Chains A and B, each alone.
Chain A
Amino acid sequence: MNKRKQNLLLNALTWAVVLLSLLPIFWMVLSSLRSFGEITEGAQLSSEQALHWENYRDMWLNVDFLNYFLNSLIVCGWTTLFATMFATFAAYALARFRFRGSDTASIAITVTQVIPGMLFFLPLYMLYKNMGESWGIPMLNTYHGQIFLYVSLFTPASIWIMRGFFMSIPRELEDAAIIDGCSRFGAFVRIVLPISAPGIIATATFIFLLAWDELFFAWMLTSSAEVQTIPVGIRLFNGQFQHRYDLMMAAATVSTLPVLLAFFACQRFFIKGLAAGAVKG
């Protein structure tokens, strides 16, 4: 009886922690459905309050949010595609072959984890500026300038995750396929890729989450609204004279949705992938 009581208490405590940690998210969604007046007057919450769904219409009209939203999708989509592709090939090479410079490559990947690219925003900014002005290759204020940078920022970490997946696949599987007449590349495509699909999905989700969250470089490398992503655009709800918190929370909710959907769609692979990485250290 005592043991059971203790267990019930612990269960209650666990769910209390869950609810407490979800409160800010709940508050974000609730605020997005309150009217501007209710927010600024600090009106007390009551159960008969009407839900102001029109906030979700107004936020697209007030700031050209659709533009920022689409830009985010474009930049993050291409980044995820390229970074996943590069990481897959590089990780496979590092997991299976020893070649000249394979150790150096591993070290270099570790170094990028320790020294984040953020520290080099000045050289990068100069490089992008010069490429546009002296070489005639515009990089600032472009989609490809952002995508190029994000791919190079997020590939190294992804290589680490993928490498673990490839190393856990027994080498014999490929050897058997090669003996049966498959080429090396054929064995990779037909045997290794299908087995490691969960790992690839987990990595792609990870990259998408990182790219969607990127504000620092997005802020520095773009100045025209045509290519700016959500984190830059969402600041526009902080007007000079009033803060439209109702619309801002609606925009915040909408910009959380894509990553939330990606997470729920892939969570089975994703949580497993993250956890596997932790145990291997």
Chain B
Amino acid sequence: MMLAVNLTPILQGLYMSLLKLNQYTLNQFLDAPFIGLDNYRRILFEGHSPIRAGLGFALRNTLLYTLVVSIAAIVIGLAVAVLLNRDFPAKGVARTLLLLPWIVPSYVVGSLWGFMWQRDVGIVNVVLVDYLHLLDEKPFWLLGANSFWAIVIPTVWRAWPVMMLLFLAALQAVPEDQYEAATLDGVSKWGQFWHITLPILKPVIVIQFMFQFIDNVYSYNIVSMMFGGGYPGEWADLLMPLLTRQSFSYWMFGQGAAVSFIMMTLMLIFVAVWMRSFKRSLANDE
């Protein structure tokens, strides 16, 4: 039953990607003309089709964005988890407060940072230029290559607290005597982190990197809120915003379905390869 519920839209999506679906044929989609692989040909090889034009940028941005966000969230989360895994006053309060950025809904994150990045009224420029004098003139954060960082930073800001929490939980399961023995043997703190902590955290890192990767490939809310649902420019356009924009403003439903199907296939390949390469370290975790 569950499988059928999942499989039906996949098959329907596959079928739709073989049809000429636009605003005229949308209402009776069963009668829409069957055009075989033509949608795929247009997307991949026909330079001037509207969806193809932006696809290259969106693909590049999505890959870079996903990698940067996933790695940054994991590295920062791990560093702070190690920092928090000590005894200090009000430990629980710090941990709860650190989770707050994650509780803020992502559409609020998009609106909030969109406001903070504004050139004239945004706090980022006020702090960087007026208070700290780090830059001579106020840059446009939501234009050009800067806009890539304008979407990366808020995403990382919202993503790393959960990573921190998960790593902290895993760290607290590490038996204390391992560290004591290592200290007696004269292993440095850094060596202990490298040889005891990291191997224990490896399964969590492997799984969380995969989920981060999946999450960020399908990122939509932050970009769409920050740029008001319009075109975010060639450095901030990601696949999901592109896909919805093309489908609902150009009514290229068949081509949209074809892009979805390509994305799904790539994602399945990534997950299969990832799981296979780390099979052993995941099995140790059981």
Q: Hey, which bits of chain A sit against chain B, CB under 8 A?
A: 7, 10-11, 13-15, 17-18, 21-22, 24-25, 27-28, 31, 39-40, 42, 44, 101, 104-105, 107-109, 111-124, 126-127, 129-130, 133, 152, 156, 209, 212-213, 215-216, 219-220, 230-231, 234-235, 238, 243, 245, 248-249, 252, 255-256, 259-260, 263, 267, 271, 274-276, 278-279, 281
* Contact (Cβ within 8 A) B111 A216: no
- 18 additional A-B pairs beyond A122-B256, A271-B95, A275-B166, beta carbons within 8 Å, are A13-B83, A27-B112, A104-B2, A104-B3, A105-B1, A107-B3, A120-B10, A122-B247, A122-B260, A152-B5, A215-B106, A216-B244, A231-B107, A235-B229, A256-B105, A260-B100, A275-B169, A279-B173
* Contact (Cβ within 8 A) B6 A220: no
| Cα distance, A33 to B125, chains bound together (Å) | 20
Q: How many residues of B contact A (CB 8 A)?
A: 84
Which residues from A are CB-within-8-Å of B72?
Answer: none
Residue of B nearest to A277 (CB): B166
Which residues from A are CB-within-8-Å of B40?
Answer: none
* Residues of B184-203 contacting chain A, CB below 8 A: 203
Encoded as 1 (CB less than 8 Å from any A CB) or 0, chain B from 10 to 45 comes to 101100100000000011010000000000000000
| Cα distance, A169 to B104, chains bound together (Å) | 33
Which residues from A are CB-within-8-Å of B108?
Answer: 28, 234, 252, 255-256
Could you show 17 A-B contacts with beta carbons less than 8 Å apart?
A10-B88, A15-B94, A17-B80, A17-B83, A22-B101, A24-B112, A25-B100, A107-B3, A114-B268, A119-B260, A120-B13, A212-B105, A255-B108, A274-B169, A276-B169, A279-B169, A279-B173
* Contact (Cβ within 8 A) B221 A122: no
Residue of A nearest to B168 (CB): A275
| Cα distance, A275 to B107, chains bound together (Å) | 25
Question: What distance in Å separates the Cβ of A228 from its nearest Cβ neighbour in chain B?
Answer: 13
